[in-house]
């Protein structure tokens, strides 16, 4: 069973920003709503080339099989698109809404809802009174003195009084390579993963307080509000500037969110930010993920398949030319259809990222991070998987993972003929069947045209 022959795989969507300043009108998670712009874009683009069986909601809810699961989506965002923070924040927010709804009525009253009227009033206030200019050091001011970038003296601070040098090298973010050298008391979670350690709690509280100060927000001491410590941690990981998983938010979005979180820990405080994150996931990352997943071979294999397709076409042309120049009858020229047919079908499929040999068995190549999972220590593989789904974890760096160096050392021939695995997702197999059928039909038409041209030519009679 295949989809329509007019099917086209999802186009590659470049990252772009949207405005969340307009009123909300559509359904979303946690009872909040999506912007009208989001709705129109959802109707026009999200389903383009993506069947319902591979929809964003179905993947997030765990209704798909490998290689289209939430785990595969996360791996794609980490290793290919380098933007996993959106999905990590989205998953955290979805779980946060669930946990907040489980609170007692008495506890929920401590964190009042952040209404649309409050959000609009805050947006207007930020528009009329933009965030204060950041302070810079005297050395930096001296560099720009007398130029168009000269700054007022009120924004100049002395480094000895707490100002930071913008030209200084920032401290390196700890990676998993440094994990073993960190003292146990410095880990953010206990071994059971249920409690925050006091050292990291103080660190996140300090970073959150710094974020509020930068946005010129006075934090109310609402320590009895539910999940206040967790919100401080979220601010230090996703919202604060230079955070390890900093979301791509505008300064107004960041300031508006911090103003809301200074008042309440209700999930509606994230209303506008979660709309931006969800829109990016649905209309950009999800489509690119499905497009990437359709490719059943790695890049060396796809290039190799394209080369075979071109070689088949060239072979068909040479065979047809040699027969035309000989005394052989016209019927012999039809033999060139073998080269044309195989070559064109292979090239068309490869141009869409598919290898027809792998497709014949409904196989795909293992991804580089999957390839060495069996060779690596089981505990390190488990730790890698846990880190990517740890929504309150550190940065998403993977350069120090063991598979990176191993795959770089792998020779080209082994990459072309890497290990394969069966594709379990039926909807993905249907998409690949459709593309293969399109390639075969297109090959038949083009082959008939090419062979017809050569059959119509007169004999050369050179030999």
In the predicted model, is pLDDT for residue 237 greater than 60?
yes
What is the C-alpha separation between 426 and 136, in angstroms, rounded? 57
**pLDDT given for residue 130 in this prediction:** 55
Angle at 234 between CA 230 and CA 236, to 5 degrees: 115
Whether residue 68 contacts residue 294, with contact meaning beta carbons closer than 8 Å, is answered with no
Which is it for strands 136-137 and 156-157: parallel, antiparallel or unpaired?
Answer: parallel
Q: Tens digits of per-residue pLDDT, 111-150?
A: 999 888 777 776 666 665 555 545 445 555 565 566 655 5
In the predicted model, is pLDDT for residue 62 greater than 90?
yes
Q: Tens digits of per-residue pLDDT, 87-117?
A: 999 999 999 999 999 999 999 998 999 888 7
- Going by pLDDT thresholds of 50, 70 and 90, the confidence category of residue 328 is confident
Pair of tokens at residue 324: 């035309």
Q: What is the mean pLDDT of residues 32-53?
A: 57
In the predicted model, is pLDDT for residue 202 greater than 90?
no
Which of these, 286, 205, 296, lies nearest to 42 by C-alpha position?
286
In the predicted model, is pLDDT for residue 448 greater than 60?
yes
- The two counts, helices (H) then strands (E), for the chain are 20, 6
- Going by pLDDT thresholds of 50, 70 and 90, the confidence category of residue 356 is very high
Q: Which segment of 215-224, 283-292, 324-333 scores lowest on mean pLDDT?
A: 215-224
Three-state helix/strand/coil letters over 343-357? HHHHHHHHHCCCCHH
In terms of DSSP H, where are the helices of 243-367? 251-261, 271-280, 286-294, 299-325, 336-351, 356-360
- Going by pLDDT thresholds of 50, 70 and 90, the confidence category of residue 194 is very low
**pLDDT given for residue 80 in this prediction:** 93
**Position with higher pLDDT, 410 vs 208:** 410
Highest mean pLDDT among 45-59, 138-152, 174-188: 45-59
**Position with higher pLDDT, 460 vs 286:** 286
Contacts of 59 (CB under 8 A, 6+ apart): 68, 69, 70, 73, 286
Pair of tokens at residue 69: 């699961």
In the predicted model, is pLDDT for residue 182 greater than 50?
no
Whether residue 281 contacts residue 234, with contact meaning beta carbons closer than 8 Å, is answered with no
**pLDDT given for residue 157 in this prediction:** 44
Q: Please state, rounded to an integer, the average pLDDT across all residues of the chain.
A: 78
């Amino acid at each position: 069973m295949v989809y329509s022959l007019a099917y086209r795989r999802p186009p590659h969507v470049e990252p772009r920003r949207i405005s969340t300043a307009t009123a909300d009108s559509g359904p979303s998670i946690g009872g909040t709503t999506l912007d009208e712009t989001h709705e129109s874009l959802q109707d026009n683009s999200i389903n383009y080339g993506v069947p319902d069986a591979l929809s964003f909601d179905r993947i997030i809810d765990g209704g798909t099989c490998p290689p289209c699961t939430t785990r595969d989506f996360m791996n794609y965002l980490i290793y290919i698109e380098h933007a996993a923070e959106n999905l990590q924040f989205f998953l955290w927010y979805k779980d946060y809404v669930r946990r907040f709804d489980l609170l007692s009525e008495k506890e929920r009253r401590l964190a009042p809802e952040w209404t649309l009227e409050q959000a609009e009033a805050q947006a207007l206030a930020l528009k009329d009174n933009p965030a204060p200019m950041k302070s810079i050091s005297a050395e930096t001011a001296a560099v720009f003195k007398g130029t168009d970038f000269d700054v007022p003296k009120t924004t100049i601070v002395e480094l000895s009084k707490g100002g930071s040098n913008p030209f200084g090298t920032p401290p390196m973010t700890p990676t998993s390579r440094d994990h073993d050298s960190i003292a146990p008391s410095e880990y953010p979670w206990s071994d059971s993963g249920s409690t925050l350690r006091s050292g990291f709690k103080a660190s996140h509280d300090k970073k959150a307080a710094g974020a509020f100060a930068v946005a010129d927000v006075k934090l109310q001491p609402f320590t009895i509000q539910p999940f206040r410590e967790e919100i401080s941690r979220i601010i230090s990981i996703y919202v604060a500037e230079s955070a390890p998983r900093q979301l791509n938010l505008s300064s107004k979005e960041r300031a508006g969110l911090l103003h809301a979180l200074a008042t309440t820990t209700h999930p509606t405080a994230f209303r506008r930010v979660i709309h931006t994150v969800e829109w990016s996931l649905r209309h950009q990352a999800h489509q690119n993920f499905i497009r990437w997943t359709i490719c059943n071979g790695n890049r060396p294999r796809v290039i190799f398949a394209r080369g075979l397709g071109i070689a088949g076409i060239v072979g068909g042309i040479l065979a047809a030319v040699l027969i035309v120049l000989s005394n052989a009858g016209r019927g012999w020229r039809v033999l060139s259809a073998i080269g044309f047919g195989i070559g064109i079908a292979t090239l068309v499929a490869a141009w869409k990222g598919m290898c027809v040999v792998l497709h014949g068995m409904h196989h795909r190549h293992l991804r580089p991070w999957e390839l060495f999972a069996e060779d690596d220590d089981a505990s390190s593989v488990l730790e890698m998987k846990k880190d990517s789904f740890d929504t309150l974890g550190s940065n998403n760096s993977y350069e120090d993972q063991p598979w990176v160096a191993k795959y770089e050392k792998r020779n080209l021939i082994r990459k072309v003929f890497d290990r394969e695995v069966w594709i379990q997702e039926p909807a993905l197999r249907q998409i690949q069947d459709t593309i293969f059928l399109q390639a075969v039909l297109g090959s038949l038409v083009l082959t008939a045209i090419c062979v017809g041209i050569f059959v119509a030519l007169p004999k050369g009679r050179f030999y």
